[in-house]
């Protein structure tokens, strides 16, 4: 009677190293990409991409005909991020960097690479800082990454003044800005918040600016229920507040 076979694994590191050497290597490559605004040429291997990622399976289609195939143009993904995606597809590991992780995350979402997306999300949370947080918030809102959006908003609530001075804040979309303006936990005075919103409006060519300004001052509860307004956590006491019932949250 034939016995059941046993799967025996060799060392993973030499295998991973060998495959990593094929990333963007012209040797044996049978597909060529032109990537990013800089139009960088990147070489890859169809069978590996197709078996690892449904996006590339659909993109590359059947085997190419005779002759030199035309390059596949991917102009929206930066070359560094695309090479990181290839590294992950070839080796199931990737070296991430703070300055480019959001671009890798964006590519992972667009290409349907759930494992790479989770790896990027974990990395973003670890390196989140004042300079990165608004850019991360924009990515979270764009792709519906709820947990990341919550982490970013909580970070901005704790570091409001610093975050509002960054270029990333000025480049937020209206849909990313509105949750911040609705928050009662921002550590910033109302006057400073208004100035930040005005700066954003000047830079951003804003859509739905009226909706943004509805939220800029003091958030109201349902008036029909007789509830009062309330001040944000960072609002400084002012003389006119004594005429209002405005408890801090």
Between CA 224 and CA 178 the distance in angstroms is: 23
Residue 35 maps to a domain: no
Residue 190 maps to a domain: yes
The tokens for 217 are: 């001052």
pLDDT of 168 over the 80 cut? yes
Mean pLDDT, residues 196-225? 61
Mean pLDDT, residues 113-129? 97
Residue 59 maps to a domain: no
**71 secondary structure, DSSP code:** P
Model pLDDT, residue 202: 85
Residue 115 maps to a domain: no
Between CA 168 and CA 146 the distance in angstroms is: 19
pLDDT, tens digit (0-9, with 9 covering 90-100), for 34-75: 999 999 999 999 999 999 999 999 998 876 666 556 899 999
Residue 137 maps to a domain: yes
Mean pLDDT of the chain: 86
Domain of 198, in residue numbers: 128-218
pLDDT of 237 over the 90 cut? no
pLDDT, tens digit (0-9, with 9 covering 90-100), for 144-155: 999 999 999 999
148 contacts 185 by C-beta, under 8 angstroms: no
Model pLDDT, residue 203: 80
Residue 228 maps to a domain: no
pLDDT of 124 over the 90 cut? yes
Mean pLDDT, residues 130-155? 97
Closest CA to 157 of 193, 124, 127: 193
Residue 93 maps to a domain: no
The tokens for 68 are: 């030199």
Least reliable range by pLDDT among 105-114, 126-135, 191-200, 239-248? 239-248
Between CA 154 and CA 136 the distance in angstroms is: 12
Q: Which residue has the higher pLDDT, 149 or 227?
A: 149
pLDDT of 120 over the 70 cut? yes
The total of structural domains in the chain comes to 1
Percent of the chain with pLDDT over 70: 80
pTM of this structure: 0.78
Residue 144 maps to a domain: yes
Mean pLDDT, residues 216-244? 57
């Amino acid at each position: 009677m034939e016995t059941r076979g046993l799967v025996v694994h060799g060392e993973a590191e030499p295998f991973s190293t060998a495959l990593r050497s094929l990333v963007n290597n012209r040797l044996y490559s049978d597909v060529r990409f032109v990537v990013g605004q800089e139009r960088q040429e990147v070489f890859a291997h169809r069978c590996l991409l197709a078996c690892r990622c449904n996006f590339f399976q659909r993109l590359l289609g059947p085997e190419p005909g005779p002759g030199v195939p035309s390059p596949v143009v991917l102009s929206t993904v930066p070359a560094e991020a695309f090479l990181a995606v290839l590294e992950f597809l070839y080796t199931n590991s990737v070296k991430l960097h703070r300055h480019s992780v959001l671009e890798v995350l964006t590519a992972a979402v667009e290409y349907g690479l759930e494992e790479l997306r989770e790896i990027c999300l974990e990395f973003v949370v670890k390196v989140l800082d004042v300079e990165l947080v608004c850019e991360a918030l924009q990515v979270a809102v764009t792709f519906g990454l709820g947990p990341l959006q919550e982490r970013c908003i909580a970070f901005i609530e704790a570091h409001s003044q610093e975050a509002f001075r960054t270029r990333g804040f000025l480049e937020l979309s209206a849909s990313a800005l509105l949750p911040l303006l609705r928050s009662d936990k921002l550590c910033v005075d109302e006057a400073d918040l208004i100035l930040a919103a005005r700066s954003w409006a000047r830079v951003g060519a804003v859509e739905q600016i009226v909706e943004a300004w509805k939220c800029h001052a003091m958030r109201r509860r349902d008036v029909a229920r007789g509830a009062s307004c309330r001040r944000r956590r960072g609002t400084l006491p002012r003389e006119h507040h004594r005429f209002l019932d405005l408890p801090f949250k």
